[in-house]
Structure 1
């Protein structure tokens, strides 16, 4: 049986006589779920090399070890795909995901994902880990993504994320000129009952908070830096649309995109609005030439620029995907407890877009 690198703890004098369960949960940060797995694993929990029940008391100087059985992603096909590694150690892999790449295989899309490339990379090194991304990035979003190499690391980072301890910083290009230099969007998000793959701002949704700061203003677009307190699906894209400044290149939440078409179809009575029992899949309405922000529901602020009238202005600036990049991820290393930050440079397509905006429209600093 193969194991991950063990977690170890030397019992200090102040913990003399403490119950092993308490050491594991309070001192080593082992969750109840992981503790249950360790109890069923041969040599999963040991004190000075001997397997012990978790109700025994430990003494100062004892070496407590937790060993997790090795897991592999046998369900993921290894593929020699290019991956950009920002950092790697025995517990953690941090990558710079390219735009257009799906993170994990899904139904109907089993290959050419980040997971396929990472599993192949590990196999080539003679290593076997289960692919465990600790957070999500949309297919068209580029940037920093962390992958845990064992259940403990995944659990620790997930808990830090739930406690809002992760630093998640993004850079985006949005339609229109944002007038305020900085601000916060505090607006709950949930699925659109008419089209569950689309998210909407709704009072009954899950709490979602996004902070933003203007980096640069163009005539018809704005470069913004954003920080997330929460991590809802499509959060930045939904919040920027709610603000009246959807992301450039966003096919779902941008002008004339899927979200606009759902709103338009509902307003025209082509979708029953009562309980959402009939779900819209786009088949009943072709893409329009663009729906002005002013035509959206009353809860949507009007965009500051007429650029939102265009169906896909991002293509004019050499960008064919949503202009969103995860530039920074800050976390506490689950084992060393050292605070770490990882940075991914702005990708070439967004750099090109910014240059074209500046050259064709002119720009002034925020």
Structure 2
């Protein structure tokens, strides 16, 4: 029988303030360990120890005790390791930050079992001799490029998920849109839910989930034919930016689901629809012109505020160059 392997322990040196308190209370208040995670670690032989000896969550602590929590190492046995390119922006024992290219899915789904960021990350960890389960903190659409945070153990995933829910993770995007917002900057505060006629599509609907997107126009092109917009998410609904920008009349260039359709003209050539779409702009980029450029959060272990930035990918650089000629 193979030996159980654990991640590096979470440790607390018990202070006078915590003297006499229960293990569970100290872990919850000092480290923010969830009850769900506690229920997983307390059943293992070395899950929770004090001064090297196994304890239970209702045991009492004394000043000077060394409290440690160990989580069993896991790996994604259902994900095929593949030697694929992986643009690693940052990695330590707890976190992996990657810059995802467009056209790549984050996690295997129906129809995308291979060729994903998960396949590449699992292979990378295997080559490094690490036993890690793939746990993305958030995801990007297949055709959106940019930064993705991946937790390397369940505690980190729990902590970053809570930061995400609390709006403490900053996510900023660049987008190229048709037209220009009526006001140079503002907030779209409109609920989003599935389209009743097509469950794959999201729409603004008053019975939907609260959704908030902040935007600022960085530059306009061709006397308002198009614009470069920076966006900050306050919530993280599926397709949120794409839906909100369409809602204010500025759909993303290249967005095949929420953008303008290209219809044939009478002479057979392609042209933009009367809503303002442009065949030339659609041809300039093969996916929605959206890039997750900035990601910032507090590291759950070091408590340091981290900030990462991913440069605009080449296809969007080329698009901007073409827009500047309008």
Shared fold, TM over 0.5: yes
Q: Matches of 1:101 and 1:53 in 2, distance apart?
A: 44
Query: Offset of 1:77 from its aligned partner?
Result: 0.5
Query: Offset of 1:56 from its aligned partner?
Result: 1.1
Q: Matches of 1:290 and 1:9 in 2, distance apart?
A: 62
Q: Matches of 2:11 and 2:59 in 1, distance apart?
A: 17
Stretches of structure 1 lacking an aligned partner (at least 5 in a row): 258-287, 294-305, 362-366
Which residue does the alignment assign to 2:196? 193
Query: Offset of 1:213 from its aligned partner?
Result: 0.5
Query: Offset of 1:353 from its aligned partner?
Result: 0.4
Query: Offset of 1:108 from its aligned partner?
Result: 2.1
2:242 to 237, 240, 247: 237
Q: Matches of 1:70 and 1:42 in 2, distance apart?
A: 14
Which residue does the alignment assign to 1:323? 289
Which residue does the alignment assign to 1:168? 171
Matches within 5 A, 1:336-355: 336-355=302-321
Q: Which TM-score applies when normalising by structure 1?
A: 0.83
1:226 to 231, 234, 241: 231
Could you tell me whether the CA contact under 8 Å between 1:249 and 1:313 is conserved in 2? no
Could you tell me whether the CA contact under 8 Å between 1:255 and 1:292 is conserved in 2? no
Which residue does the alignment assign to 2:22? 19
Query: Offset of 1:314 from its aligned partner?
Result: 3.0
Query: Offset of 1:315 from its aligned partner?
Result: 3.2
Q: Matches of 2:83 and 2:309 in 1, distance apart?
A: 24
Could you tell me whether the CA contact under 8 Å between 2:181 and 2:248 is conserved in 1? no
- Higher mean alpha-carbon deviation, 169-178 vs 205-214, is at 169-178
The answer to whether the aligner puts 1:110 opposite 2:113 as a matched pair is yes
The answer to whether the aligner puts 1:314 opposite 2:281 as a matched pair is yes
Could you tell me whether the CA contact under 8 Å between 1:91 and 1:149 is conserved in 2? yes
1:249 to 231, 248, 254: 254
Which residue does the alignment assign to 2:267? none
Which residue does the alignment assign to 1:267? none
Number of residues of Structure 1 aligned to a counterpart in Structure 2? 314
Q: Matches of 2:273 and 2:197 in 1, distance apart?
A: 18
Secondary structure of 2:201's counterpart equals: strand
Query: Offset of 1:28 from its aligned partner?
Result: 1.3
Could you tell me whether the CA contact under 8 Å between 1:143 and 1:325 is conserved in 2? yes
Q: Matches of 1:352 and 1:289 in 2, distance apart?
A: 21
Query: Offset of 1:173 from its aligned partner?
Result: 0.2
Query: Offset of 1:47 from its aligned partner?
Result: 0.7
Q: Which TM-score applies when normalising by structure 2?
A: 0.94
